[in-house]
């Protein structure tokens, strides 16, 4: 499994810096116009889904028999000594999935660098940032922030003592396959729990594009992408996900005080070799 991209909108892509909106932050992070960057957008390759399924089953078993279950079907694992082992098991599985995802993104980035070096000769590359999403963050006061479809966007105070203290936390926003991606800097806005959305979202639910698409419609559409899980070819439409116009989704975050755009990246080549993207990024 390790070294593979996974399903959905995950990819690894060779990109370039198309423009710079915040030249001070871009300079500090090492970005220049036309510079080649590598992005990997990938997750835990179903380990997170398995951890969640196990956690739900444990929550069902731990739920008091005579207490009605919530109407929304969301079952919390109740705090207390009685459920401590159940909670610990879930968090350990969740953490292991997150750690695997980080390692897998590094493997993918090294594979990209190796392939690029084989074609272009020796090169140097530095990791800019790894921006996780869909995880739990526990604060010092004991509260927990679950960023579902969102990523941290800390400001100056959140980054104090580190290399990003002067600029805020890098926020990586991967586009749909073949669309532009963005790197922004966070503002640490408490109204958004120091968070920013991870992408532009989707126009239709998961799987709806597969049910609506046909081989003829996907072949005639320049925005179609074919995914081949096991032996079944399933058409997936980029149109199912929102491909925002340049600055569209990022400008809404700026107006709400979440982030500020630093630099957008565009795919260097929208071909089969570029279909592997990540929420970690490196510059070459």
Candidate from 177-191, 202-216, 245-259 with smallest mean pLDDT: 245-259
The domain defined by 14-201+241-279 folds into tRNA-splicing ligase RtcB (3.90.1860)
Q: pLDDT per residue over 22-53, tens digit each?
A: 988 889 888 889 998 988 988 898 888 899 89
Contact 191, 257 (CB under 8 A): yes
pLDDT of residue 79: 76
How is the chain split into domains, by residue range? 14-201+241-279
Q: pLDDT per residue over 144-177, tens digit each?
A: 899 988 999 999 999 999 889 899 999 998 887 7
Q: How far apart are CA 22 and CA 130, in angstroms?
A: 20
Contact 43, 9 (CB under 8 A): no
Active-site amino acid positions: 198
Q: pLDDT per residue over 93-117, tens digit each?
A: 999 999 999 999 999 999 999 998 9
pLDDT of residue 176: 75
Q: Is the pLDDT of residue 92 over 70?
A: yes
Q: How far apart are CA 177 and CA 10, in angstroms?
A: 8
The 8 Å CB, 24+ separation contacts for 54-62 are 54/89, 54/90, 54/93, 55/90, 55/93, 55/94, 58/86, 58/89, 58/90, 59/86, 61/86, 62/86
């Amino acid at each position: 499994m390790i070294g593979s991209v996974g399903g959905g909108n995950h990819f690894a892509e060779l990109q370039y810096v198309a423009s710079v909106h915040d030249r001070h932050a871009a300079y500090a992070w090492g970005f220049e116009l036309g510079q080649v960057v590598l992005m990997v957008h990938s997750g835990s390759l179903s380990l997170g889904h398995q951890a969640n399924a196990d956690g739900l089953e444990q929550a069902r078993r731990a739920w008091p028999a005579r207490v009605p279950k919530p109407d929304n079907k969301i079952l919390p694992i109740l705090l207390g000594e009685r459920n401590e082992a159940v909670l610990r098991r879930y968090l350990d599985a969740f953490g292991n999935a997150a750690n695997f995802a980080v390692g897998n993104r590094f493997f993918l980035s090294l594979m990209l660098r190796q392939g690029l070096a084989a074609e272009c000769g020796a090169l140097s590359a530095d990791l800019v940032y790894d921006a996780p999403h869909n995880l739990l963050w526990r604060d010092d006061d004991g509260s927990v922030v679950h960023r579902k479809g969102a990523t941290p966007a800390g400001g100056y105070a959140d980054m104090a003592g580190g290399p990003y203290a002067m600029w805020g936390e890098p926020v990586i926003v991967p586009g749909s396959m073949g669309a532009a991606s963005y790197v922004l800097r966070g503002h640490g806005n408490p109204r958004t729990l120091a968070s920013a959305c991870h992408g532009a979202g989707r126009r239709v639910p998961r799987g709806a594009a597969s049910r609506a698409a046909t081989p003829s419609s996907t072949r005639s559409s320049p925005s179609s992408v074919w995914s081949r899980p096991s032996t079944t070819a399933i058409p997936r439409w980029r149109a199912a996900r929102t491909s925002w116009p340049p600055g569209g989704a990022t400008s809404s975050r700026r107006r709400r005080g979440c982030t500020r755009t630093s630099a957008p990246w565009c795919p260097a080549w929208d071909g089969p070799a570029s279909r592997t993207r990540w929420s970690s990024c490196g510059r070459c």
